[in-house]
Amino acid sequence: MTIAVDKLSDPAVRRLLGAVNSGNRDAFFAALTDDATMSDDGSQRDLADWVDREIFSSHGHIEVQTEKSNGRALVADFRNDAWGEMRTAWKFTVASDGRVSHFDTGQA
């Protein structure tokens, strides 16, 4: 059973994933700190390049299965036109201003 993005516990994560699922690149970057970083399968990636390739140009969509750590650790089914669907794990760091400053993702 999936958890609707608008029901996620953490408001920063809710905003970020809502932007993913609506295909709204501007809202996605507005939900991040100016110096936000990310990693994929343990390797640091260029955030803008990764997001454009894996989410926005390939119609990425996320369906959350479980959440832990007050909504900052998720297991989700992620799909895009490039890779199809895969089970993924996500961990988010939220800054004091309420925006995501870092996220890790990878195969779950």
Owning domain of residue 95: 5-107
Distance, CA of 58 to CA of 61 (rounded, Å): 9
Model confidence band, residue 22 (pLDDT cutoffs 50, 70, 90): very high
Q: How confident is the model at residue 46 (pLDDT cuts 50, 70, 90)?
A: very high
Q: Any idea what the CATH number is for the domain that residue 92 is in?
A: 3.10.450.50
Burial profile 3-28: b = 16 or more Cβ within 10 angstroms, e = fewer:
bebeebebebbbbbbbbbeeeebeeb
- Burial class of residue 87 in the structure, from the number of CB atoms within 10 Å of its CB (0-12 exposed, 13-18 middle, 19+ buried): exposed
Q: Calculate mean pLDDT across residues 49-54.
A: 96
Total domain count for the chain? 1
pTM: predicted TM-score of the whole model, two decimal places? 0.94
As given in the structure block, the two tokens for residue 49 are 């390049």
Comparing CA positions, the residue from 105, 94, 40 lying closest to residue 72 is 94
